[in-house]
Amino acid sequence: MVFLVDDFFKDKAFASRIPLESKDEIIWVNVDDEPKTKIVDQIRDQINENNKSLPAAVIGIGGGSVMDYAKAVSVMLTNPGSSSLYQGLNLAKNPGIYHIGIPTLSGTGAEVSMTAVLTGPEKKLGIKGESTPFDQIVLDPELIYDAPKNQRFYTGMDAYIHNIESLEGTARNCMSDSFATQSLALCRDVFLNDRLSREEADEKLMIASYFGGLSIGYSEVGVCHALSYGLSFVLGLHHGIANSIAFNHLEDVYGKAVQEFHRMVEKNKIDLPQNISKGLSAGQIEKMADIAIKLEHMWKHAFGPEWQKQVNKEKILNWYLRM
Ligand SMILES: NC(=O)c1ccc[n+]([C@@H]2O[C@H](COP(=O)([O-])OP(=O)(O)OC[C@H]3O[C@@H](n4cnc5c(N)ncnc54)[C@H](O)[C@@H]3O)[C@@H](O)[C@H]2O)c1
Ligand SMILES: [Fe+2]
């Protein structure tokens, strides 16, 4: 077994609970930056150098970033060349090796999604295909108990926003609506109901993430995610905080949901970065808008096939200037 574990846990008691047997190994993964194709290739090469045969399984333990590393490494152990060659849909010909996901943050839905989001030399795009999803996942709410308040919130909001975007777009359907509605109820309980114990809330948050991820799998993300990709690409912000910064200013698109988001921020006493566009150059904001506008499938979901009548680069620039 190869355990890919978030290096946040390196000196924590949790590390000693990983039941290593003779040939098993732990590879500590740093996620200060979101997953890169270069690092996927390095991890794959390291596993091959240390072992004569393929491992029986890759087990990812960490937040969404480690979930994606584990999925990508599994695929890259059986497909030649750099992982940057496989960013796209169904480009890997050989099925990956058995892989297991054990999340330690909840919200991204990466534990259940079909994609491993990677930044390569040319693009930020997932390796997506039949064999990318985990063969098995373990959802243990104890593992998210120690997550810092702000991080827990930002990642949790990814699930909340997945649901809102899934429900408010043209690709919605009975399946995606059903998962999103249930996940949304759980998110509201977690972030607005103070009668819940932390243990009850963590359990609900894990399932909210899982259902939110399923909802998106059958539908699509929308305006907030398109803007958030631009923020992450140019500023290196992680997905959850980038989503939160963008959603905070999208009342003209997602109305009451944004008002509810403001209540959640206030109730949970969350530090949300403000006025980030003030410190940016015109070139940086342009670049963000260029990245965002290319995400056609998201705009199409949010505004329909004639989305270009409602959204142009200027409108996108204006959204960024509000943040
Ligand atoms: N594949 C998908 O479908 C999908 C969907 C959404 C997001 N993503 C990806 O997920 C990533 C974001 O994931 P995330 O929000 O879970 O955060 P993350 O994995 O990027 O981790 C954020 C920080 O929290 C730390 N951390 C992790 N678990 C912790 C714990 N229990 N206690 C304390 N700290 C902990 C990490 O070390 C890191 O510093 C991005 O790379 C994004 O691209 C993937
Ligand atoms: Fe997301």
For residue 309, what pLDDT is reported?
A: 97
For residue 124, what pLDDT is reported?
A: 83
Closest to 120 measured CA to CA, from 43, 28, 233:
233
Mutation choice for ligand 1 from 11, 61, 65, 224, CB with most ligand atoms inside 8 A = 65
For residue 122, what pLDDT is reported?
A: 79
For residue 139, what pLDDT is reported?
A: 98
For residue 22, what pLDDT is reported?
A: 86
Amino acid at 19: P
In angstroms, rounded to a whole number, what is the distance separating the alpha carbons of residues 73 and 86? 12
Query: Which ligand 1 atom minimizes the distance to the CA of 232?
Result: 43
For the chain, give the percent of residues with pLDDT over 90: 94
Task: Determine the length of the chain.
Answer: 323
| Contact criterion met (CB below 8 Å) for 103 and 110 | yes
Compute the distance from residue 159 Cα to the ligand 2 centre, in Å: 7
Amino acid at 269: K
DSSP letter assigned to residue 36: B
For residue 229, what pLDDT is reported?
A: 93
Residue 233 Cβ < 6 Å to ligand 1: no
Please write the tens of the pLDDT for every residue from 243-271: 999 999 999 999 999 999 999 999 999 99
Please identify which residue in the block is written with the tokens 């892989």.
Answer: 99
Ligand nearest to the CA of 154: 1
For residue 121, what pLDDT is reported?
A: 84
| Contact criterion met (CB below 8 Å) for 170 and 299 | no
**For residue 231, what is the enclosing H or E element?**
helix 223-235
Ligand nearest to the CA of 12: 1
Ligand nearest to the CA of 213: 1
- The two tokens of residue 41 are 């290739």
Residue 6 Cβ < 6 Å to ligand 1: yes
Mean pLDDT by runs of 10 across the 323 residues of the chain is 97 91 95 96 96 95 98 98 96 97 98 95 88 97 95 98 98 98 98 95 98 97 97 94 98 98 98 94 96 96 97 97 96
Residue 217 Cβ < 6 Å to ligand 1: no
In angstroms, rounded to a whole number, what is the distance separating the alpha carbons of residues 123 and 219? 23
